[in-house]
Structure 1
Amino acid sequence: MTATSLRPRVAASENHVDAAIRLASIFAESAADLDLTGAFPTGNFRLLHQSGLVALTAPVELGGSGAGLTEAAEVIREIARGEPSTALILIMQYINLAQLLKGRWPEHLVRAVARDATERGALINALRVEPALGTPLRGGLPDTTARRVGEAWLISGRKIYSTGAEGLTWAIVWAKTDEDEPRVGGFLVPVQAPGVRIERTWNPIGMRATGSHDVVFDEVRVPLDHAVDIRAPSEWATREGQASWFGILPGALYTGIAEAARDWLVRFLKDRVPSNLGRSLATVPRIQQAVGEIEELLAVSRRLIRSAARDVDEGRPLSQSEAGLIKVVTTENAIAAVEKALKLSGNHGVSRANPLERHYRDVLCGRIHSPQEDTARTSAGLLALGL
């Protein structure tokens, strides 16, 4: 994706959540095609930028809207109801922009990234996962290496599952230095820099339009100050300031997918009139109870997400353990809700002529994101046991 230089055109009467609702209905029209082709949702991000949503969480003093976690979660949930791959790429954008003034970056790079996002709709993400390492949250040093040569770093390595890769302007590349005592951390790399190559490897069953391809770095040269945050490995025990966002925003996304599945189910149940019944399936008490079970799961998740996000915005951040549990509970609720919808719709639900099977494939991907179920629950258990 090429970032556009068009400045956002936001209607004075439209707030960010209303804009997300409006755009989600547009995105839903092309969601099936994006799922089929796996193409990057370039057009969606053009509209997001024009509506002032790409730089939603960038600090106000840097030209952004300065939105907190509560508003970001509402926007993500609504966008996911229309096209969830777009929402996942947007999650990574929101987390990284929200942290710009909270890290150790040089001021001129902070301003460059914020300016690109606010003026051009440019995207940024942290590329961390590797073939041998897996996710850094489970420990270990990356194979990707930054070698110092004079007044520059030369970065070489391969990143996999790089969300939004083909649409990024900036990548925060997780790498270790070649020093005797290696440091590890983020190196800010322009994705168009010489030596950066994207290999189109992403071909999953769900969330197919995230463009999460491999990114290869072959002696990519960046200035010394592009080592925006490198530290001793022991200093990276937690995702400072990010745990709450990584816990809440994925839950919002997958809740949005489940709501889209629920919406389709409700229409189906109202329209479906079996000849032996003589009235719509929606009138059957057993069906009504089953739909109520879906509503129960979704209502609990929405309340949990909003309450937790509000706590964060009011200065009460979640512990890493609590954030992980919220992610697990909300994503599992979403999966259970869509599975119940499949049960109720039978063959119609698994037919490719209907969107429910796509919602199911998409919602299952909630189990893949860090923190995963075993990590979150083991961490909580160790904390409770005082071990």
Structure 2
Amino acid sequence: MTTLQTETIHETGIDYLSLAESLGKQFAEREVEADESDLFVADNIARLKAAGFVTAGVPAELGGSGVSYADLCAILRLLGYHSSSTALAFSMHTHQVMIPAWRWYHQKAPVDGLLRRIAAEQLILLSSGGSDWLQSAGTATKVDGGFLINARKVFASGAPIADLLMTSAVYDDPDKGTTVLHFAVPMSAQGVAIESTWQAMGMRGTGSHDVMLSDVFVPDAAVALRREQGKWHFIFHLISMVAIPLIYSVYVGVAEAARDRVVQLALKREADELLCYKIGGLDNELMAAKIALQHMISTATVSQPSFEVTAQIMSGRTLVAKAVLNVADLAMDIAGGTAFYRKLGLEKLFRDVQGVRYHPLREDAQRTLLGQLALGWDLSLL
């Protein structure tokens, strides 16, 4: 953490890591309240915004702070340690900022307008990518000057406080066939509504409601990308490379919190070899999660998007998921029956970490892709 901290201070004049640690501790109380009442952690996100985290990943040349990718992963991990829902909701905004930032840095892509707006207007981005993925959802109907969009976008984490929805819909192109259109929609646009559906096992404060799009007009000029439905595209290799390590940094932070919580409880008991053995096993699992996460971050930092890189990132995603689930399970076992009480806090961490199962690519799809690469399949057909 020390090296990352020094780099962050040097680039921005703000110690974002220490600030994340301080804010995270303050967020914990609101996190518990949100969990018990299915409330969105709006105040926590607002405080992150006020502290400059919304624009942290925007390049300094475009009005942001230019915080490095590795630092943002570390920030989300710290926030995850203290406030699971806050961190996960904020990771969705963060990765949507870092995708165009990567394209600006590496491709000189014309995304500077969006990035400048994020910096100048403090925009919070909302993603529907995880639930849409390669197939997308909803319909785009051609009208004069653009499209009318009708869709239900589920699992939209952070919906109540978002400004701009980054999403897609399916257009039956008479010339090119079924085509997915990618575009941004202001949450204030006519026809956009939030349906409060988020009553979940864990991560209850993320506000991951459904976003309804009813005859929402999207101008032709606002369509940023067109691609064939169901097929891998460069943008999804980029999304995989950039988004997944950021999101999974949160879950490693949650696992670290569960580990520390159960060790504190164990210190109050008389230690024996069995207890030491169980805690040692838990620490092995946590180390595995950290190593896999670091591999993902290192790969994302130095690589260009490709099938091979996607396979590396998604293998890391599977390994992190397995390890953090094992950490949570072992923590409950070590604590014993008292872990069943909500006041102890472990059952919440156990519930929150279950979300690690559901982000793409889930293990079956990940293992299939890795096997296809190993056996030399023609991936251009996928």
Match of 1:86 in 2: 86
Moved more, 55-64 or 162-171: 55-64
Contact 2:93 2:127 (8 Å CA) reproduced: no
Name the TM-score, length of structure 1 as normaliser: 0.85
Partner of 2:9: none
In structure 1, the partner of 2:294 is: 306
Partner of 1:206: 202
Aligned length: 359
Partner residue, 1:122: 123
Query: How far apart are 1:189 and its partner, in Å?
Result: 0.4
Q: Paired residue for 1:291?
A: 279
Partner of 2:45: 45
Give CA deviations for 1:75-123 in whole Å, capped at 9, x if unaligned. Answer: 111101111121112222121111225289995x752x43453344321
Q: Would the aligned equivalents of 1:106 and 1:228 in 2 still touch at CA under 8 Å?
A: no
2:163–2:186 contact (8 Å) kept in structure 1 = yes
3-state DSSP of counterpart to 1:160: strand
2:264 to 260, 263, 267: 267
Whether contact under 8 Å (1:68, 1:313) holds in the other structure is no
Please, which runs of 5 or more residues in structure 2 have no aligned partner? Answer: 1-11, 378-382
User: Structure 1 residue 224 and structure 2 residue 212: aligned?
Assistant: no
Who is 2:255 aligned against? 258
Q: 2:149 maps to what in 1?
A: 155
Q: Which residue of the partner structure matches residue 335 of structure 1?
A: 325
Deviations 1:132-187 (Å, cap 9, x if unpaired)?
xx6434xx453x22223222322112111222222210012211224313421312
Deviation at 1:235, TM superposition (A): 5.9
Structure showing the higher helix proportion among its residues = 2
Residue 243 (1) aligns with residue 229 (2): no
Match of 1:372 among 358, 362, 380: 362
* Conservation of the 8 A alpha-carbon contact between 1:351 and 1:357: yes
Once superposed, which parts of structure 1, at least 4 consecutive aligned residues long, lie more than 6 Å away? 103-106
1:315-330 to structure 2, matched below 5 A, reads 315=303, 319-330=309-320
Q: Are the structure 2 counterparts of residues 152 and 135 from structure 1 closer, same or farther at C-alpha, using a change threshold of 3 Å?
A: closer
Q: Tell me the equivalent position of 1:276.
A: none
Measured after TM superposition, the shift of residue 247 of structure 1 is 3.2
Does the aligned pair in 1 maintain the 2:181–2:225 contact within 8 Å?
Answer: yes
Contact 1:251 1:326 in 2 (8 A): no
Find the residue that maps to 2:48 and give its secondary structure. helix
Which amino acid letter does the alignment assign opposite residue 48 of structure 1? L
* 1:352 match: 342
Superposed CA RMSD: 2.5
Specify the alignment match of 2:380 in structure 1.
none
Residues 302-346 of structure 1, C-alpha deviation per residue, up to 9 Å, x if partnerless? 233224313432346661111111011112111101111110111
Match of 1:277 in 2: none
Deviation of 1:284 after TM superposition, in Å, equals 2.3
The answer as to whether partners of 2:30 and 2:41 remain within 8 angstroms in 1 is: no
The CA distance in 1 between the partners of 2:144 and 2:109, in whole Å, is 19
- The answer as to whether partners of 1:172 and 1:188 remain within 8 angstroms in 2 is yes
TM-score, normalization by structure 2: 0.86
| Worse-superposed segment, 315-324 or 153-162 | 315-324
C-alpha contact 2:92 2:247 (8 A) present in aligned 1: no
| Structure 1 residue 42 displacement after superposition | 1.3
74-83 or 85-94, which moves further after superposition?
85-94
Partner Cα separation in structure 1 for residue 205 and residue 275 of structure 2: 34
Q: Which moved more, 1:171-180 or 1:350-359?
A: 171-180
Q: Residue 157 of structure 1: SS of its match in structure 2?
A: strand
Other-structure match for 2:67? 67
Do residues 383 (structure 1) and 379 (structure 2) align? Answer: no
